[in-house]
């Protein structure tokens, strides 16, 4: 009985933890410093060490996965953030194809951390 109850609490804790980490990750994931990423990765490794999770997660892979999923959703014209995407770039010279056909904006180091700009440059 005790093991079953403990297992349920572990599952509940991990579900809650995954929700908290992934909540609006696309918005704040680009602004994490290396120190903060190290702290989050240390916590995730500790959760794996004490068998709270079945696989070891990495914050960079979680951010990348969430960014890819959300960036694909933005291409739907019905999405509320679709209007924030830059205009479509025509490719008349037959250049190498990219994952998207959008113009790459000029940016500085701060706005490059925002989700849309970060995704445009990452998923070329």
Write out pLDDT tens, residues 48-102. Answer: 888 777 778 888 888 888 888 887 887 778 878 777 777 777 766 766 666 667 7
Q: Mean pLDDT across the chain, nearest whole number?
A: 77
Nearest to 101 by CA among 86, 111, 116: 86
Distance (Å) of CA 122 to CA 10, 38, 52:
35, 21, 32
Nearest to 29 by CA among 61, 75, 73, 74: 61
Residue 120, number of CB atoms within 10 A of its CB: 22
pLDDT of 42 strictly over 90: yes
* 8 A C-beta contact, residue 100 and residue 74: no
Nearest to 50 by CA among 108, 10, 93: 10
| Average pLDDT, integer, range 11-32 | 79
* 8 A C-beta contact, residue 76 and residue 82: yes
């Amino acid at each position: 009985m005790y093991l079953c109850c403990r297992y349920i609490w572990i599952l509940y804790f991990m579900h809650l933890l995954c929700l908290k980490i992934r909540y609006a990750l696309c918005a704040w994931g680009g602004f994490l410093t290396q120190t903060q990423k190290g702290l989050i990765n240390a916590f995730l490794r500790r959760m794996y060490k004490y068998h709270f999770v079945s696989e070891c997660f990495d914050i960079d892979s979680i951010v990348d996965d969430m960014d890819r999923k959300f960036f694909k959703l933005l291409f739907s014209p019905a999405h509320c953030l679709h209007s924030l995407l830059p205009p479509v770039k025509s490719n008349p010279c037959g250049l190498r194809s990219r994952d998207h056909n959008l113009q790459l904006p000029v940016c500085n180091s701060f706005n490059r951390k925002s989700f849309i700009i970060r995704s445009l440059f990452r998923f070329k």
